[in-house]
Structure 1
Amino acid sequence: MPTNPATLTGEKPMNPRRPDPTPTISGRYGAPLGRPNRTDRRDMPAGPKFSLVRIRLNSGGYDSGGAYWGVGKPLYYAAASRDDTGALIADRYLRAASREIARATICAEFPDARFYR
């Protein structure tokens, strides 16, 4: 059975409808630059269902968990997990001018992706 990558990093398991895109992090030498994208294609179901949320950044370009993103276009987080186990199978951080563009970017990588409303 695949392991939830969130569990490996000490993060709380993800609720597919209410992901925590900005868990608190700290770096030995200060704030890390962004956060990693993860994908487990070995366990990818057909038509993965993504949640898509906008991440608010403060005026300095930091998210609420302490990662630095800089300023620019809005930042979005998309995550999909297996329905049966809740294991995270894909998550993406991306910059896009709108939610529709962020969604189209996810669909370009995962053509059969679906989204929660």
Structure 2
Amino acid sequence: MESNKINYVELPAKDLTLNKSFFEKAFGWSFQDFGTEYTAFENAGLDGGFFQADFASRPQNGAALVVLYSSELETTLERVKEYGGSIEQEIFEFPGGRRFHFLDPCGNEWAVWSKLA
């Protein structure tokens, strides 16, 4: 581990089982449970976890936006919808790429981006 570098991120989840199922199916993540109110995610590019909470992480409430990368943006968008996520903002272009925003089943906002072809 490197000192003074982002090492871990934690996000709220109203339903740990529901969020675990969504991220396993839509993104291929794996999980390790630590009791009934916390699960750590693995194989996600950055280590982190979900903690049991009755609120959600949304940028408009001051939370950081976690952005994932996909080389197949449209396919990822369809997988998000198929497995229970909801599209918050459809695919749009920005300098250097394209992205969309979605809410996971517990209401946390995420984004997925891809380089311009």
Larger RCO (alpha carbons 8 Å, 6+ apart): 1
Give the TM-score taking structure 1 as reference length: 0.28
Higher strand share: 2
Give the TM-score taking structure 2 as reference length: 0.28
Higher helix share: 2
